[in-house]
Amino acid sequence: MPELIPQPRYARFLPDGGTVELTDPLLDTGPGTGGAARWLRRELGAATGWELPAPVRGGEHGARPVIRLALRPDIARGTGAESYELHVAPGLVLLEGADEAGLFYAAQTLRQLLGPGAFRRAPLPGAVWRLPVGDLLDGPRFGWRGLMLDVARHFLPKDGVLRYIDLLAAHKLNVLHLHLTDDQGWRMEVKRYPRLTEVGSWRARSRWGHRASPLWRETPHGGFYTQDDLREIVAYAAERHVRVVPEIDVPGHSQAAIAAYPELGNADVVDTAALGVWDDWGVNENVLAPTEAVLRFYEGVFEELLEVFPAEVSPFVHVGGDECPKTQWKASALAQERIRELGVDGEDGLQSWFIRHFDGWLAERGRRLIGWDEILEGGLAPGAAVSSWRGYAGGVAAAGAGHDVVMCPEQQVYLDHRQAAGEDEPVPIGYVRSLEDVYRFEPVPPELSEEAAAHVLGAQANVWTEVMEDQSRVDYQVFPRLAAFAEVVWSRLPEPGERDYAGFDARMTAHYRRLDALGVDYRPPGGPLPRQRRPGLLGRPIEGAPPNV
Ligand code: ACM
């Protein structure tokens, strides 16, 4: 049995390791298979040196094997959208997708079957390509299989985002949630408000380590994506069947925007003109003022965002809504006057008014709002979906009330949390969440009725980057745990609780070789390499949380 990750639904291969050699194959493309063909020529072409020409119709193939691509919508009847079949016989490799996404996943599985060398960008001398003879039928458990990257706390340059799209696709994940704004940086160009990036994308320095650390990096940090960068990211993602969920966080997590445009803040209680982009970590009291002018400003932001992120790739738009302290609204005469004028229930009602406004505004434009589970407080907007991060409770309440939910409980799938209890974990944060813990994450809690469970669209792992200063640190936190997460959201199991961790761990041996070939700076099973450690940098481990709580 080939060591595939995520585990396919059904696979039957010849016993005794029967294989066929694949030398300079032809690529026979059926209608609608152009995207998968482009990807195969680009990725397998680079790794193997194959040109993958089309067979000449009516011509002689000679002894050349054929990789044939086809769409077969009937496959979906058994295994649903995004599913596929893959058949390997002497002389013919057949990839059939229920749809274009399914065919793309068949191509991804083909690359895994060819071995770790197929993940390189050029062939090694003397490379021989072999495939196991057999049949495979596969399809996903959930339609939302995501990763959130916080590109606000530490900017990930465009190349890094494109690379992550490839890494998601290699694990059959299909949602990239980009956290584009926060107190510490604004990362999306907005043409009508140039100061959002001129001022809001830069901070003078950063705390080095978590909040309690006395150390600072006295280096300016920042950067942003131009609208064309984002259009390129969206198109690159679409070609790989990854949907992008852009997030503009309101009404909290907004100090970078206020630093650029002080009128967005609560100027009657703080001197907003004196605020810079925040250089520290934590929850910040500088939140947006609850005024009509602020709503109009953000409508302008979202108008440009909708144009850059088209509905086909970004049906959902994330408006944040998390961790909005109400201190300034309590102290602000203007905010209190708004509460009376709007007739809302105190400061929570103001927050709900903010979110409801954008729920209606997005719905009128054919999009759906999604927000962190705080958007449940003060009444959830009717069409809104919820990212359940403070455990399962928000998701359970929302799904019970008929709202769609993406499960991403911080106790299970926040990949900024440390992976082991050892002293040498770099800047340890939160609970210990090992590879096995992530593997045992169950997105659908047992208390949900069947009807409510149908509202769980899927799950995503979230990566907050306060203590991840560059791509290598992000890789270290994300891998290998994303491989376990991918199997949780892709692979259907006979019964919850039947996860075979020993089997997964055995398959990881092959997967580490793939990650090596891809150049992923993962945490090795034995612990961090010397350069991956950050001795002396304080984190925020949650004590009393034993391994595997
Ligand atoms: C969050 O972790 N503040 C969504």
Residues in the chain: 549
DSSP 494-511: SSTT---HHHHHHHHHHH
Q: Which of these ranges, 12-16, 255-259, 457-461, has the smallest mean pLDDT?
A: 12-16
- What's the pLDDT score for residue 63? 80
Nearest CA to ligand 1 atom 1: 322
Core vs surface per residue 225-237: b (16+ CB within 10 A) or e: beeebbeebbebb
- Phi/psi for 437 (5° steps) reads -60, -45
Give, for ligand 1, the residue of 323, 406, 407 to mutate: max count of ligand atoms closer than 8 Å to Cβ: 323
Residue-wise pLDDT for 197-211, tens only, equals: 999 999 999 999 999
DSSP 381-428: -TT-EEEE-SSSHHHHHHHHTT--EEE--HHHHBTTS-SS-STTSSS-
The average confidence (pLDDT) of the chain is 95
Q: Residue 380 is encoded by which pair of tokens?
A: 């959830």
Helix, strand, coil fractions of the chain, as percent rounded to 5: 35, 20, 45
Q: Name the CATH topology of 144-494+503-532.
A: TIM Barrel (3.20.20)
Nearest CA to ligand 1 atom 2: 389
Pick the CATH number of 10-138 from 3.40.1710.10, 3.40.50.10470, 3.30.379.10, 3.40.50.300: 3.30.379.10
- What's the pLDDT score for residue 545? 54
Structural element, H or E, at residue 147 = strand 144-150
DSSP 513-525: HHHHHHT--PPPT
Answer whether residue 47 shows pLDDT above 60. Answer: yes
- Ligand 1 centroid to Cα of residue 204, in Å, is 24
CB 302 within 8 A of CB 317: yes
Answer whether residue 547 shows pLDDT above 50. Answer: no
Answer whether residue 369 shows pLDDT above 90. Answer: yes
Answer whether residue 496 shows pLDDT above 80. Answer: no
- In the chain, the N- to C-terminal Cα span, in Å, equals 33
- Ligand 1 centroid to Cα of residue 510, in Å, is 34
Answer whether residue 159 shows pLDDT above 70. Answer: yes
- Ligand 1 centroid to Cα of residue 99, in Å, is 34
- Mean pLDDT along residues 18-34: 96
CA distance 365 to 82: 27
Give, for ligand 1, the residue of 287, 386, 389 to mutate: max count of ligand atoms closer than 8 Å to Cβ: 389
Q: Residue 395 is encoded by which pair of tokens?
A: 């998701």
DSSP 62-103: TT--EEEEEE-TTHHHHH-TT-EEEEEETTEEEEEESSHHHH
Answer whether residue 493 shows pLDDT above 80. Answer: no
549 — pLDDT class (breaks 50, 70, 90): very low
Give, for ligand 1, the residue of 322, 417, 540 to mutate: max count of ligand atoms closer than 8 Å to Cβ: 322
383 — pLDDT class (breaks 50, 70, 90): confident
Residue-wise pLDDT for 396-452, tens only, equals: 999 999 999 999 999 999 999 999 998 899 999 999 999 999 999 999 999 999 999
CB 197 within 8 A of CB 224: yes
Nearest CA to ligand 1 atom 3: 322
542 — pLDDT class (breaks 50, 70, 90): confident
- What's the pLDDT score for residue 345? 93
Q: Pick the atom of ligand 1 nearest to 462's CA.
A: 2
Structural element, H or E, at residue 51 = none
Annotated catalytic sites, by residue? 182, 253, 323
Sort strands 185-186 and 134-138 into parallel, antiparallel or unpaired.
unpaired
Answer whether residue 102 shows pLDDT above 50. Answer: yes
- Mean pLDDT along residues 145-153: 98
- What's the pLDDT score for residue 389? 97
- What's the pLDDT score for residue 494? 62
CB 259 within 8 A of CB 275: yes
- What's the pLDDT score for residue 382? 74
Answer whether residue 134 shows pLDDT above 70. Answer: yes
- Cβ-based neighbour number of residue 26 at 10 Å: 18
CB 341 within 8 A of CB 352: no
- What's the pLDDT score for residue 26? 98
Residue ranges around ligand 1 (CB below 6 Å)? 322-323, 372, 389
Q: Where are the domains of the chain?
A: 10-138, 144-494+503-532
Domains 10-138 and 144-494+503-532 share a fold: no
Answer whether residue 473 shows pLDDT above 90. Answer: yes
